[in-house]
Amino acid sequence: MKRKRTLLVLASLLLVALISACGANQSNEPKNANATGTTSEGSKATPESSGGKDESFTIRIGTWFIDDRPFMQEFKTNVEKSYKQKYPNATIQWDITLGDAYADKLKAELASDTAPDVFFHQGKTAVFGEVGYLSDLSGEAWGAKLNPGTKSAYSYKDTVYALPMGIASSGIWYNKNIFADLGIEVPKSWAEMESAFEKIQSAGITPVAAGFKDAWTASMTFNLWMQPHGYESSPTYGKDLYEGKKRLDGPEVQAVMMHLQEMVEKGYLNKNALSIDWPQSADLFTSGKAAMIAQGPWMPGTAQENFQTKGHTAFELGYLPFRTEKGYAKLSLGIDQSLSVNAKTKLLQQAKDLVAVIASPEVYGPFNVGSGTVPGIQGMQLEYPNAALNDLLKVVDETESGIGYEAYLPASAMTSLTETFTKVASGIKLDVKDLTEAQKKLEKDIGTVILPAE
């Protein structure tokens, strides 16, 4: 009997000790959160959060492009200032790894569950969404205002996973002074474009500057040209190519190649187009020796730099899209940076609120003006210091846009098309067999294509 009482006492004491230990562990656990376990001040933290407005926590944001440029520093300041209004005691920890090393670092962190709560990435929405790395942002207010032409950059299987930071649209930049002096209106069809070429050439000026020594410039020009010709024939042209309903040796591709062939034969391109790179072609344009150039949204900034450093006489740039014979235009919109929330974050609401802050006009607008991009959120009225970017914004707002047809092609087929385009640009007449070869590569390597969101 005495032994039984002793055992009961010992059991009771053990139970009390266990309860006390559990209570001590719960009461001593820190509440501010950080996925790496360390705040920006170096104190230990756990990824637990109740989401209270006055709560102290540290939230991490990963990026590769925020450097010392004034507008980038302004962006950081604007984010922190606006976020403090919602969470006065929050600390934003910027995890910045400049350059290409960031992408590999982010992949490793996502795989090991150590990635930032919020992070920027480049073209990885579908890849990261498929493996479950991203939080669903479909319910966010800004999600309903996104430009549908950038859907592949912000969604996967009809779920919004990212905020596109800004739209980059390449196209034809032109010298407004030359157009005005020669009485040329902005071309609204391919026939009007050809008429402009003739007038410019007659004035002793090269109509279009090209630097196809850089293969990417030839590829970009061809893709921009193909976009309206393809989608005018079918609203699902890219997918039609993927499914075999359209062919790369079909009339759409042949039409673009024949237009190029005609331009070469009539001398509308600079004769050294195959032997100069893109900066040299930019020099040809900004020096006034050429009236137009097909390039990306960085062209206005490059022109401004050339005006200041190379003694070129400054002129006002304009922007226009490639058009078909019937005047149809369709833009292919690109996204450089996309912003997502880590699916494993313990600060889910705070992370969503941080993205919402970045999507606000006060933060998002100045970022786009500074970076020379068009807002991916529709309805924002911005004023760019460079008039050419205002033209670009107007064209993007007024022109149909969508996924680039090339997103449905394997790399091998795209390389083959670029080689054929370059061949024609060199003065060799189009051989349809070259396009048939591209079609064969499409059929052979179609399994390597990851279909974009539609």
pLDDT tens, 377-396?
A: 988 888 888 888 888 888 88
DSSP string, 382-427: ---SSHHHHHHHHHHHHS-EE--GGGGS-HHHHHHHHHHHHHHHTT
Name 171's bridge partners: 295
What is the rounded CA–CA span in Å between residue 249 and residue 234?
16
**Domains in the chain with CATH codes:** 57-167+335-377 (3.40.190.10), 171-332+400-448 (3.40.190.10)
Closest residue by Cα to residue 193 from 95, 262, 107, 143: 262
Of 142-146, 352-356, 392-396, the least confident: 392-396
Would you state the pLDDT for residue 391? Answer: 87
Amino acid at 446: I
Can you tell me whether residue 23 is helix, strand or coil? helix
pTM: 0.73
Band (44; pLDDT cuts 50, 70, 90)? very low
Average pLDDT score over residue span 60-81:
94
Is the pLDDT confidence value at 27 over 60? Answer: no
**Can you read off the two tokens belonging to residue 307?**
């005006």
Per-residue pLDDT tens over the stretch 271-302: 999 999 999 999 999 999 999 999 988 898 88
Report the percentage of the chain scoring pLDDT > 70. 88
| Pairing state between β 331-332 and 401-402 | parallel
Confidence of residue 51 (pLDDT cuts 50, 70, 90): low
Give the least confident one: 74-88, 213-227, 375-389. 375-389
Which pLDDT belongs to residue 169?
82
Q: How far apart are CA 247 and CA 234, in angstroms?
A: 12
- Across the range 166-175, mean pLDDT stands at 91
pLDDT bucket at 150, cuts 50 / 70 / 90: confident
**C-alpha–C-alpha distance, residues 135 and 10, integer Å:** 50
Mean pLDDT of 104-133: 95
- The number of angstroms, rounded, from the C-alpha of 202 to the middle of its chain's C-alpha atoms is 39
Q: Is the pLDDT of residue 34 over 70?
A: no
Confirm if 211 and 279 have CB atoms less than 8 A apart. Answer: yes
pLDDT at 50 over 60: no
DSSP conformation letters of 199-220: HHHHTT-EEEE--TTSHHHHHH
